């Protein structure tokens, strides 16, 4: 655990330093505040979607891993072997769109890959040892991270994201906490890059993103 904490602390320090460096060059960012607002809105949606995926994934695994010693392959795990990591990636993309220039997304993706690939491989090795045949079939059928498009389009939303596990873990608090953190960071970015900020406007964008996300979830649960 200490090794992981050291790596994450180093990465966090790097992100803070890089963010401060980027703020010194306002021209790296969109000069139109309207375009910046659009990127903020999209970023907030990514944060909410990533948080939602983590909520369901942790809740589903907790509910089903306690019932038996079988490999968990249902729910979101039917489309990606690592839905928790995918949720974290989506959240990271959201924060990048809010705080960094949009073209820095490949930098984030590369850092995410380098940070979590060894951890994912180590976890896969353990699963393969504990469930040799089951995990071999699982890995052959389900992608490691990003779901197959055809399978995602044919997905049964209510079966993949069951509501009975949605609110069972601490991840649920992220639906409020992470957008608030994002709004504060975005206000800081606007102040340093554009010379002014409007926290109320940023919070309004966060609320609107929350409403759009909630409405889309209602539609998906009812009709998909």
pTM of the model: 0.91
Q: State pLDDT tens for residues 106-160.
A: 999 999 999 999 999 999 999 999 898 999 999 999 999 999 988 888 888 999 9
- Exposed e or buried b per residue across 34-56, where buried means at least 16 C-beta atoms within 10 angstroms of its C-beta: eebbebbbbbbbbbbbbbbbbbb
Q: State pLDDT tens for residues 195-207.
A: 888 888 899 999 9
Average pLDDT over residues 84-100: 94
Q: State pLDDT tens for residues 69-91.
A: 778 999 999 999 999 999 999 99
């Amino acid at each position: 655990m200490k090794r992981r904490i050291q790596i994450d602390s180093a990465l966090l320090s790097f992100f803070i330093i890089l963010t401060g460096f980027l703020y010194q060059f306002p021209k790296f960012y969109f000069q139109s505040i309207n375009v910046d607002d659009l990127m903020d809105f999209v970023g907030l949606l990514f944060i909410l979607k990533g948080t939602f995926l983590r909520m369901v994934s942790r809740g589903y695994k907790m509910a089903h891993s306690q019932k038996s010693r079988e490999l968990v392959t249902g729910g979101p795990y039917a489309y990606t072997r690592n839905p928790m990591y995918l949720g974290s990636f989506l959240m990271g993309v959201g924060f990048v769109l809010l705080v960094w220039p949009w073209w820095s997304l490949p930098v984030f993706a590369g850092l995410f890959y380098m940070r979590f690939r060894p951890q994912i491989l180590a976890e896969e090795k353990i699963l393969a040892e504990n469930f040799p045949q089951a995990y071999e079939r699982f890995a052959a059928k389900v992608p490691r991270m990003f779901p197959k498009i055809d399978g995602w389009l044919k997905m049964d939303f209510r079966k993949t994201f069951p509501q009975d596990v949605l609110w069972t873990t601490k991840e649920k608090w992220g639906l409020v906490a992470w957008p608030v953190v994002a709004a504060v960071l975005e206000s800081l970015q606007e102040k340093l890059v554009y010379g002014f900020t409007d926290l109320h406007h940023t919070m309004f964008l966060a609320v609107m993103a929350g409403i759009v996300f909630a409405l889309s979830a209602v539609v998906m649960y009812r009709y998909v």
